[in-house]
Amino acid sequence: MKKSRRKDPRPKPLKRQRDVLCDVMLSAGACETWLTLVELSRVTHYGEASISAQLRHLRKPQYGAFVVEKRQREAAEVLCGVEHGQVWEYRLSHAVRLAATSPMGPKDEGSLGAALAVC
């Protein structure tokens, strides 16, 4: 009698930390919400230093060239003594980059040979 092979479903690949952070930040950005490193840490369960490093990576072209905005949070909005000193909050959005037009394309007066492209 021939043995039948059991087909086990392959485990789904785990999302990278950078991908999880990108999803969370883009969702927050859609709601026009700014998040601190502490808030991101609570949502994603990753360390604050690691989240900060991943935010730097998301600015790089090979990881999406996202725009990472940073601003200081108002003192009144800081949570009950959990955060001390200056508190920075972040927002992620898609980049608006310059895309070069072809050298053979139409030329307008005053054209710099570049056009805006929304990613």
Secondary-structure class of domain 17-74+83-102+113-118 per CATH: mainly alpha
CA dist 86 and 115 (Å) reads 38
- Cα torsion through 70, 59, 17, 28, rounded to 10: 40
Whole-angstrom CA distances from 29 to 7, 35, 64, 92, 99 are: 42, 9, 16, 6, 24
Per residue of the chain (119 residues), give pLDDT as tens: 666 666 767 777 778 999 999 999 999 999 999 999 999 999 999 999 999 999 999 999 999 999 999 999 886 555 555 556 789 999 999 876 555 555 555 544 444 444 433 43
- Please give the single-letter amino acid code of residue 61: P
Residues 77 and 88 sit within 8 Å (Cβ to Cβ): no
Show the tokens assigned to 66.
């996202």
Name the helix (H) or strand (E) containing 40.
helix 37-44
Hey, where are the domains in the chain? 17-74+83-102+113-118
